Structure 1
Amino acid sequence: MIGQTLIQLLLLVATAFLVVYFLGNRRKARAKAGVKLGFVVFVIACIWAVLRPDDLTIVANWVGVSRGTDLLLYALVVAFMFTTLSSYVRFREQELRYARLARAIALKNAVKPEDELR
């Protein structure tokens, strides 16, 4: 029971950290480098889990999860949440850029009312 509470706490903290980190440091170059580094670490961990599944079960038991596959599932859920949040923030920023661009083009191409009457 304590082990299960530990993994739940770790997953919740990881999720909260991802949200705070990603929303707070979106424009900084360090954030982009951190995402790339995290992705590389995640890929290496997944390769390791595939090649040595018994090690994953040992790590899972250490953090309070009964099976290594469950631990991998939990990690994938956190990675999916991170990817979803990343896509949402990126698309939101892109929508704002398009809106600003559309406004700038509309203002540049605007015709003065008195020019229309002549």
Structure 2
Amino acid sequence: MDSQLLIKLVLLAGLAVVALLIVWPGRGARRMALRRISLLLVVVTAAVAVIFPQLANDVAGLFGVGRGADLLLYGLVVAFVGYVIATRAHHSRVDLQVTELARAQALGAAVDAGSIHR
């Protein structure tokens, strides 16, 4: 059996969670709460890793990873992928809003210009 099977499963589960958050509809309070809780967990994990660096090595050993720094890097990669995807989705929504506003303004200006020439 692969000694790194556990970490592979955990990382794939993390990526699956990121994928679910991508396709999960909604921007409501529940989604915002999940984001805040996730961010809080990342901050607490980072603080624990800074205060107790040996703990990172011990946890890495449980997952079949050689060093705690490698485990933290793997977690950071999953978090970064989630951040990039969330940021891209946010920018897409903002672009759509700007497009809608520009269209509304252009139509409003065209209607105003048409009423002036009559």
User: What is the TM-score of this pair, normalised by structure 1?
Assistant: 0.87
Q: Give the alignment's Cα RMSD to 1 decimal.
A: 2.0
Deviation at 1:22, TM superposition (A): 3.4
Unaligned runs of 5+ in 1: none
Name the counterpart of 1:79: 79
Between the aligned partners of 2:84 and 2:115, the Cα distance in structure 1 is: 50
Distance 2:101 2:91 in 1: 15
Indicate the percent of aligned positions where both proteins have the same amino acid: 36
Cα pair 1:60 1:66 within 8 Å, conserved = yes
**Residue 79 of structure 1, CA deviation:** 1.0
Where in structure 2 are there 5+ consecutive unaligned residues? none
Conserved? CA contact 1:22–1:31, under 8 Å: no
Provide the residue aligned with 2:93 in structure 1: 93
Amino acid at match of 2:38: G
For 1:24-43, list aligned pairs within 5 A: 24-43=24-43
Question: Given that residues 6 and 64 in structure 1 are in contact (C-alpha distance below 8 angstroms), is that contact kept between their aligned partners in structure 2?
Answer: yes
Letter in 1 for 2:66: S
Q: Is the 8 A contact 1:25 1:31 kept in 2?
A: no
Distance 1:114 1:54 in 2: 74
Q: Does structure 1 residue 58 correspond to structure 2 residue 58?
A: yes
Match of 1:19 in 2: 19
My pick for the range that moved more, 83-92 or 11-20, is 11-20
Alignment partner, residue 10 of structure 1: 10
Give the Cα–Cα distance (whole angstroms) in 2 for the partners of residues 49 and 114 of structure 1.
67
Alpha-carbon distance between aligned partners in 2 of 1:21 and 1:56, rounded to the nearest angstrom: 27
Shift of 1:113: 6.8
| Alignment check: 8 A CA contact 1:19 1:85 kept | no
In 2: Cα distance, 1:26 partner to 1:66 partner: 39
Which one-letter code corresponds to 2:21 in the other structure? Y
Off by >2 Å, runs of 4+ in structure 1: 111-116
TM-score normalised according to structure 2 size = 0.87
- CA positional deviation for 1:59: 0.8
For this pair of structures, how many residues does the alignment match? 117
